[in-house]
Structure 1
Amino acid sequence: MNKFKYTIALVVLFMAMSQQSCKKGFLDSYPKNSLSAETFYKTEADFTNAVNGIYDALQADRELSFFPMADIATPFAGFGENRFGQYDNGIFGINAGWTMGQTLWAAWYKVVFRANVVLDRIDADGVTMTAKAHDRLKGEALFLRSLAYFYLTYLYGDVPLILKEQKYEEALVPRNPKAEIVTRLIADLKQAEVLLPSVTEYRNTKPLLGRASRGAAKSLLGKIYVYEKKWPEAEAKLNEVINVDKDYDLEPKFLDLFWPSTENGKESIFEIQYHGGVKEGNSYVRFAAPNTLSQISTAGFGYVTPTESYTDLFETTTGYTVGSTFVSRTASGPAYRFKFNYQSADPAFNQAQPYANRDPRLAWTVWYENTPYIAEFQSRAGQTGVKYLQEYSGDNGHNTVKYIIGKLDLTAGDSPGNMIVIRYADVLLLYAETLIELNRTADAAVYINKVRQRPSVMMPTLQTLQTVRGEAIISDQAKMRKFLREERYRELAFEWGHMYMDQIRWDVFADEMVKYWTANKNGGTNPALGTFDKRHYLWPIPAEERTRNPQLSQNDGYN
């Protein structure tokens, strides 16, 4: 597999599009001088380089590759007893100077500004390129800008909607209402899906592999309809992706989605492309991997530690549920060993081996002691001597498996693994959710079953589960809604913030946090959370940005 290598022309330097550090604001990368650019944007090669510059903004080290760590705000993963969102009355604290919020704001606006340069110039007089190239490049710019604004508005709410290449001082504007931004996203993605080619034109074509396609635009548009609860529109658009265009399918092997040699496969709808090497890869691996004792990574920080509440979501292979009860926590070196009691109605369930004979996705998502995944990991990574003990976690006795690829993860920014933003299983489950909300629960079961019946997973269908559990599920909208949500957790955890964003949009985040964070959780010293202020569903507008732009107001509940 060969990822397309982004080449940035000299004009990128002229336009002040250099990679920014996480301490810079989004306006620091805004083009302030366009004199030399006036004579540059004329040919297909010019605009190809400029669009490559937009993709380059997605790839910046220690910026957007951190976003999967948003899932540690949920009760399903942690990072120490003072982790994000524990009991400080705010998801990431109430300080508007929070570093991750500043970093992601700046990173997404860098994508916006680079896209605006292309979109403002590609239809100008004097531009010479084929109609096909024009449409593809314009469609890519529209999609990438829409992707940026999707995350900006669903994380921060009202944000500045900047759609033109402007002078620096002209970009110092107030926030636009979220509804206005969503309306624009829908319009832009409708245009992009017409302009962009099918992903089938990219496959087996090295220069284009990994670029935004028609399916990416349609899938993001369908996701926006879901987020906005526009169920008829969501049903129509997602149905196009699944049943009309038919450009995608599930990968037979679940782990192939997260291994560099098998990326950009038939399930991939949009991935941020990375190459190994100093500052050309992503940093997530280093920050998520277990610590150095594990031999899994030479520089892991262990920031993503799935909880027992998360592992409990994975049924036995015959479809029975599993539950756990905390017993004790014992100091062991720099971390702890945990003991739980496990319960399941499955006659074959063995408390002494609670993770055996479980949904195969558990072993491909969570590191746990005596995991059978070690043999597969060693084979793929070309390593020997790998082991995993609870103490390697430093928090919950677990770490995440996804994106951890072995000794290639030597330093920050060195992993060649792509970051998956949208994949076909996500779309299938969004479609199932839409059908449930339209009270077409039997139809929804078809698409949930498809995800569960991936050849390497082969978990029981919903029809089988009804027999195993002795209850009607498919005909009960509330039960189907609950099952769909748990299936999204099982399938999409720790990839691109899906769990966190799902819990916010479903308005279950506050209740889940309060329910989970009882006093002295798992032997810790925390107080009970008690309440959670839903104003913190939105992130704070970064203090650094408000200093630069006094017209930016703050979200309620933040200083």
Structure 2
Amino acid sequence: MKSNIKQILQTLLLATLLVSCDDYIERYPLNNPSDATFLSSETELNMAVTGCYNALWTKVQSMPFVPVFDQISDIGWDRNGSPLQAVGRGAADSSNGDLLGLWADLYEGIAKCNYVLTNMVRGEENIPTDVYNQSKAEVRFLRALYYHYLIELWGGVPLVTQPLTLSEANVPRSSKSQIVDFLLTELEECANDLPVENNPTNGRATQGAAWAIASRIALYNEKWDIAISSAQKVMALEGTEYLIHPNYMDLFQYAGQDSKEIIFSAQFLKGEQTHSMFRFFGTRNAKGHTNKKPSYQTADSWECIDGLQIDESPLYDPQHPFENRDPRLGYTLALPGSIYLGFQYETHGDSTYCWDYNQDPPKRIPNLEATHAYATFTGIGWRKYADNLDRLAVNDCDLNMIVIRYAEVLLNYAEAKIASGSIDQTVLDAINKIRQRPTVEMPPITTTDPEALKYAVYRERKYELAGEGLRLFDIRRWKIAERVMNLPVLGRMKRSYPAIAPRVDEYGTSYYDEIPIAEQGESSDFKMRVVELRSFNKDRDYLWPIPYIELDTNTAMEQNPGYGN
């Protein structure tokens, strides 16, 4: 896939050239395809299909869009005073630039898919049948993926499945349920013509990718039977095509890009298509800006190694809060006292110097994490997707972005089975394969009580998938966004830790009822810092506002409730 990125750029250029003209209808270009003949050869079809993947590289602030979703959920925060930050604090409106950009890019991807699906018939007689069918299936998969994001963020949207003329541009919104049914049918049908082999560095859609995304869409929309059956089809390929990777941290580093746990990812290539995730996630000492960061509450979510929440476990020590904890805490977050990107990571206010282990021998250097005005804010950082190999080129990263991996499919399966009332040993097995991967080894879940098991899966999704862009969708579909998004984003005490554990609820959300919290803007050494106050209107904010320009140009479309025009 990475080798095809240059072809994608060429395809985009070709799109500007494919304009027919009645006066020259027989005078086809000698050096480039014309609109009348494009897609008549295997080479042209491959270029066009590759171009349909382009919306995966949609960028918000120069980084892949999927991890961004966590920064506008309860577990993350965007430091930039940007349109994205406004979404997180409940202040988005129809003029929000980041929402407009994502909407436009997803629909641009859909338009490319529609063009190919409508016009690829030109090459049906010239292209090998298996190539033709697989190409068509890839495009249908991508179109379904793009619509999946649109409907989960905006609800019902215009369902466009063929190229439109200007006179056809006023398309009303289809209901979300109608689109869900369409997407599940598309994914089930296209899976038949997609390859079985899982090659994580190829970047092309596979059977497993289609079934995995179908399991997610069905789960999100409470179609339990389809979520279960789609997940089971992926699970049937465990051992040959999919497996739980033994090293959890490697999944989000260059070392793990070929892991069989990765079902589908967006591919990047240095020199052609790169991003700036290191700059946004990396620390100040490592030349990053830590623009995107977890809330401090997020660090208090993971259990202790005895499988109990920190407000219940005798192993929890408030003065050493990160010891005896689920190892995924330290794999997901950069924690005070750890080594991160080759530096001693300390956010205590008195830690004015730290060790730089990137030098040989290690050297003491000024600690920007404690002294820089725009350092961590929350006292912790994201470790996922920040690889030390990018430290010297923070805006030129080509670390691939996972769209879906096998662990999520197992959790989709478990949650759907519980919700459908069909709890059996396979549910526990699915959860425990994740909890007991070699680098995690948390105690197995053994309860079969439906209520307890439901919340165990909810928490497990947070422990396992934090930082991967799925939390926003979980808190929306569980209808807890109105609770967790009305809490402030907190940062650590500057020179201490709370004397007691916070209260942790059944979802793994931390509450600081008996812990001192500073007023917003107040600097305090021994109070939790209020980084941002947030607001979430349950009658409005479960959906995003339709961009105003879309309403102006498509008069058949209505705005989501609560946003005006």
Q: Unpaired segments of 5 or more residues in structure 1? A: 18-30, 324-343, 464-473
Contact persistence 1:288–1:400 (CA under 8 A) = yes
Residues 413/49 of structure 1: CA separation in 2 closer, same or farther (3 Å cut): farther
Q: 1:487 to 1:41 in 2, by over 3 A?
A: same
> Deviation of residue 360 (structure 1)?
1.2
Per the TM alignment, residue 367 of structure 1 is displaced from its structure 2 partner at its CA by 1.0
Deviation at 1:12, TM superposition (A): 3.2
Amino acid at match of 1:416: D
Match of 1:356 among 315, 320, 323: 323
**Amino acid corresponding to residue 226 of structure 1 in structure 2:** L
State whether structure 2 residue 471 is matched by structure 1 residue 499. Answer: yes
Task: Specify whether residues 536 and 60 from structure 1 end up closer, same or farther in structure 2 by C-alpha distance, changes over 3 A only.
Answer: closer
The structural deviation recorded for 1:72 is: 2.3
Compared CA separation, residues 11 and 407, structure 1 to 2 (3 A): closer
Once structures 1 and 2 are overlaid, which stretch shifts more, 523-532 or 538-547? 523-532
CA deviation map 1:69-89 (0-9, x unaligned): 221222222235989899x89
Assess, with a 3 A threshold, how the Cα gap between structure 1 residues 413 and 445 changes in structure 2: closer, same or farther: same
* Partner residue, 2:197: 199
How far is the alpha carbon of 1:372 from its aligned partner?
A: 4.5
Counterpart mapping for 1:288-303 below 5 A: 288-290=281-283, 292=284, 294-295=285-286, 298=287, 300-303=288-291
Question: What TM-score comes out, normalization by structure 1 length?
Answer: 0.81
1:454 pairs, out of 437, 445, 453, with 437
* Alignment deviations for residues 169-204 of structure 1 (CA, whole Å, 9 cap, x no partner): 43342222222211211121111111101134x46x
- Choose which of 202, 205, 211 in structure 2 pairs with 1:212: 205
Counterpart in 1 of 2:68?
69
The CA deviation at 1:45 is 1.2
Paired residue secondary structure (1:39): coil
Alignment partner of 1:307 is 2:319: no
**Which amino acid in 2 is paired with 1:476?**
D
Matched-pair contact (CA < 8 Å) for 2:72–2:87: no
Q: What is the aligned partner in structure 1 of residue 483 from structure 2?
A: 511
Matched, 1:102 2:83: no
Look up the match of 1:545.
Answer: 550
User: What's the CA shift string for 1:428-448, capped at 9, x where partnerless?
Assistant: 111111111123444322111
Q: Deviations over 1:464-506 (max 9, x none)?
A: xxxxxxxxxx1322221111111111111111x2011111011
CA contact (8 A) 2:154 2:546 kept: yes
Equivalences for 1:357-372 in 2 at 5 Å? 357-372=324-339
Give the AA of the match of 1:258.
F
Query: 1:160-559 residue pairs with structure 2 within 5 A?
Result: 160-200=158-198, 202=199, 209-243=202-236, 247-277=241-271, 280-290=273-283, 292=284, 294-295=285-286, 298=287, 300-323=288-311, 345-347=313-315, 349-372=316-339, 383-384=358-359, 389=369, 393-406=375-388, 408=390, 414-443=396-425, 444-463=427-446, 474-495=447-468, 497-514=469-486, 523-525=519-521, 532-559=537-564
> 1:530, CA displacement in angstroms?
7.9
**Aligned-pair distance for 1:65?**
0.9
Contact 1:306–1:396, Cα closer than 8 Å, also in 2: yes
Report the Cα distance in structure 1 between the residues aligned to 2:344 and 2:130, rounded to whole angstroms.
43
Q: 1:317 to 1:374 in 2, by over 3 A?
A: farther
Residue 58 of structure 1: aligned partner = 56
3-state SS of paired residue (2:404): strand
SS of 1:78's partner is strand
Shift in alpha-carbon separation, 1:102–1:418, aligned structure 2, 3 A: same
Distance 1:289 1:550 in 2: 44
**1:457 aligned counterpart, secondary structure:** coil
Label 1:244 to 1:406 Cα distance change in 2 as closer, same or farther (>3 A). Answer: closer
Write the deviation string for residues 298-323 of structure 1: whole angstroms up to 9, x where unpaired: 2x332322223211121222323214
Aligned to 2:350: none
Greater alpha carbon shift after TM alignment, 259-268 vs 425-434: 259-268
CA contact 2:84–2:98 (8 Å) conserved in 1: no
Displacement of 1:131 in angstroms is: 1.4
When the two structures are aligned, how many residues end up with a matched partner?
499
What is the SS of the residue equivalent to 2:486? helix
Counterpart of 2:149 in structure 1: which amino acid?
A: Y
Helix, strand or coil for the counterpart of 1:462?
coil
* Distance verdict in 2 for CA 1:10–1:420, change over 3 Å: closer
Whether the 8 Å CA contact 1:368–1:389 is kept in 2: the answer is no
SS in 2 for 1:483: helix
Cα distance, 1:532 vs. partner?
2.9
In structure 2, relative to structure 1, the CA distance for the partners of 1:211 and 1:255 (3 Å cut) is same
Q: Give the residue type in structure 2 aligned to 1:79.
A: D
Letter of the structure 1 residue corresponding to residue 106 of structure 2: W
CA distance in 2, matches of 1:415, 1:229: 37
> Aligned pair in 2 of structure 1 residues 553, 409: CA closer, same or farther (>3 Å)?
farther
1:8 match: 8
Distance 1:413 1:72, change over 3 A: same
Give the aligned CA root-mean-square deviation in angstroms. 3.3
Q: Tell me how far apart the structure 2 counterparts of residues 187 and 66 of structure 1 sit (CA, whole Å).
A: 26
Distance 1:199 1:376 in 2: 40
- Tell me, in whole angstroms, the C-alpha distance in 2 between the residues paired with 1:261 and 1:116: 36
- 8 Å CA contact retained: 1:268, 1:424: yes
Q: Which amino acid in the other structure matches residue 305 of structure 1?
A: K
Structure 1 pair 390–150 and aligned structure 2 pair: CA distance change class (3 A): farther
Q: Distance in 2 between matches of 1:58 and 1:432?
A: 28
Amino acid at match of 2:543: L
Residue 524 of structure 1: CA displacement?
Answer: 2.3
Identity %: 29
Partners of 2:409 and 2:343 lie apart in 1 by 28
Aligned 8 A contact 2:267 2:401 in 1:
yes
Letter in 1 for 2:180: V
Specify the code of the residue in structure 2 equivalent to 1:461.
Answer: P
Are the equivalent residues in 2 in contact too, given 1:227–1:505 (CA < 8 A)?
Answer: yes
